[in-house]
Structure 1
Amino acid sequence: MDYETARRLLIDQSSETTLNSDTFLVRLQQGQPPIPGQVTSILLSLKVIFEALKGKKVLDRDLSYALYLISSEGRRLFEARLEQQSDCPPLLNEDLDRISATVKSIFSGV
């Protein structure tokens, strides 16, 4: 996967519009689990982005916003689902931790 593909995937998966009901955030908003392989694709994209941006001082706004949404909104939606006593996929909590840690690494450069 190259940088542009990874960037586009993250921006697409962070979309909160209902036009594409299979995005990561829309599925979480609707109380549905991620599609099998969706989190893996997000994590792979984050790794590609991290490697590509090592040593860079500037991130583009669209990518930054996508990173923010995937990590913070993903966690918020997961927590809201737990409060409603809804079933959650068993590994989603750990996946969201990995996503957040990787996003933090992208922002910090470490």
Structure 2
Amino acid sequence: MDFDTAHQFLLQQTLSSTDDQRETFIACLRRGKPPLPGQVTSLILALKVLDDGLKDEPVLDRTLLKALLVLIDDSTHLYRQGVAEGVFWPPLLADDLTRLRQSARTIMTGQTN
């Protein structure tokens, strides 16, 4: 995955709001559905590519920051909301969300964990 593909994939999976994007990562969580197979793995890969490509950048654009915040805040909120509503999430989803949050924070802060 190259940098531009990773960037577009992250934006699509987190910020897309059109009806034809019902299978994006965040859309699935909003509906109380687990992510599609491979979605989390692809997001983790995209975040790694972005982190590598942005290591020397002193600033990040707002759209990218918004997408990272969606991964950090919204995914956690939607997961917890689902738990409270009795949604049966896949057993490893909580761990996957932790990895996504850590990767997103690394990009935002420019510091490795």
Report if the CA contact (8 A) 1:15-1:23 is conserved.
no
For the residue of structure 2 that corresponds to 1:36, the secondary structure is coil
Question: 1:55: how far off?
Answer: 2.1
For the residue of structure 2 that corresponds to 1:32, the secondary structure is coil
CA RMSD of aligned residues (A): 1.0
- TM-score with structure 2 setting the length: 0.93
Runs of 4+ in 1 over 6 A off after TM superposition: none
Sequence identity, in percent?
37
**Counterpart Cα distance in 1 of 2:44 and 2:26:** 15
Worse-matched range after superposition: 4-13 or 16-25: 16-25
* Count of residue pairs brought into register by the alignment: 110
Question: 1:70: how far off?
Answer: 1.9
Task: For 1:37-76, list aligned pairs within 5 A.
Answer: 37-76=38-77
Question: 1:16: how far off?
Answer: 5.2
Report if the CA contact (8 A) 1:12-1:23 is conserved.
yes
Unaligned 5+ segments in structure 1 are none
Q: Which residue of 2 aligns with 1:94?
A: 95
Q: Which amino acid aligns with 1:61?
A: R
- TM-score with structure 1 setting the length: 0.95
**Counterpart Cα distance in 2 of 1:15 and 1:59:** 16
**Counterpart Cα distance in 2 of 1:71 and 1:42:** 13
Q: Which amino acid aligns with 2:58?
A: K
**Counterpart Cα distance in 1 of 2:88 and 2:16:** 22
**Counterpart Cα distance in 2 of 1:77 and 1:98:** 16
